[in-house]
Amino acid sequence: MFKLKKNFKMPLSVFLLTLIDQYIKIHISNNLMNENFDIFSDIVGFKPSLNTSYSWLNSLSNLGIGLLPHIIVNIMILFISILVFDFIRQKQKEDKITSLIFAFLFAGVICSLIDRIFWGGSLDYVYLKGLFIFDLKDVYLSFFQIMLISCWLFNYKGLRRTSEKLLYNDFKFYIKVKYLKR
């Protein structure tokens, strides 16, 4: 049986998660933009809406931050996330939990970038009544956050014993050696 190489699992997972998110948005955009219905009683509903404020914080606070700064921040987050993931892989053996956590982070950040560039905002569609509207990308990013917090709470691989200062210095050294002194 064909076994997928370890190096292709992460990019394939990210690609599939991104594809699912974008397929749902294309389907909603083409067929369901004017639909509005309850999914789960009076708690969760379907209510498509294009969020052109580009971020939850920008929308909530009416900060008026435009599209270009959001795209730049998004690219920076993706770049830094890739560096951190590469650092973690080099520092410890790559494991399924770490790969899963970062796959959801990468997919969420890439979906966010696609939303901003191609959709002009985020096509949100799941309505948590009285609170907010979100999409699958937001679920990916929330899953990343919950898993990261869980790893810390349950001290996964001794995470809570790790010195932040030592970790920061190791990361700086790693970047310096791997990327700046070629």
- pLDDT mean for each 10 residues of the chain (182 residues): 64 97 98 94 94 80 86 96 90 83 97 95 94 94 94 72 81 86 63
Would residue 11 count as lying in a domain? no
Instruction: Pull the structure tokens for residue 126.
Output: 């799941």
**Residue 7 included in any domain:** no
Residue 129's identity, in one-letter code, is K
111: in domain: yes
Supply the range of the domain harboring residue 64.
Answer: 30-156
What is the value of pTM for the model shown? 0.88
Is there a domain that residue 170 lies in? Answer: no
Instruction: Give CA separation, 6 vs 1, 12, 20, 89, 129, in Å.
Output: 15, 10, 22, 12, 42
In a domain, residue 118? The reply is: yes
In total, how many domains does the chain have? 1
Ramachandran area for residue 120 (φ above 0: left; ψ -120 to 50: alpha; else beta): left
- Within a domain: residue 5? no
pLDDT on residue 137: 97
CA distance 2 to 148: 32
- Report if residue 2 sits inside a domain: no
Q: Is residue 68 part of a domain?
A: yes
pLDDT given for residue 159 in this prediction: 66
